[in-house]
Amino acid sequence: MNSGDISEALYLKSTRVTLRNKRGLHARASAKFATMAQKFNAKIEVTSCNDVCQETVVGDSIMELLLLGSACGEDISITAHGPDAEAAVKALSTLVEERFGEQE
């Protein structure tokens, strides 16, 4: 591993979380996710982790998040590249774990 690889690794974070809100990545949840993703100095990608497909989209696009069609009980992977990668992954995974502020 050269020094470029090491510095690149410092700016890459990823986690996998389960959608717990009743409607999964619907319009409001996608809007909250994308709005939060835009606050960080990082490129954020979201990958659906279901049996049908594993598609990856950018995390700051409401439309692309909606296209994943991820439902309650399905996992998504959140990956961030950049100086704010760790903070971004932590904040976004917390948002998902807290059901986007929804009661159900």
Name all contacts of 27-33 with Cβ < 8 Å and 24+ positions apart: 27/62, 27/66, 28/100, 28/102, 29/100, 29/102, 30/62, 30/65, 30/66, 31/62, 32/95, 32/100, 32/101, 33/59, 33/65, 33/92, 33/95, 33/96, 33/100
Residues forming the active site: 26
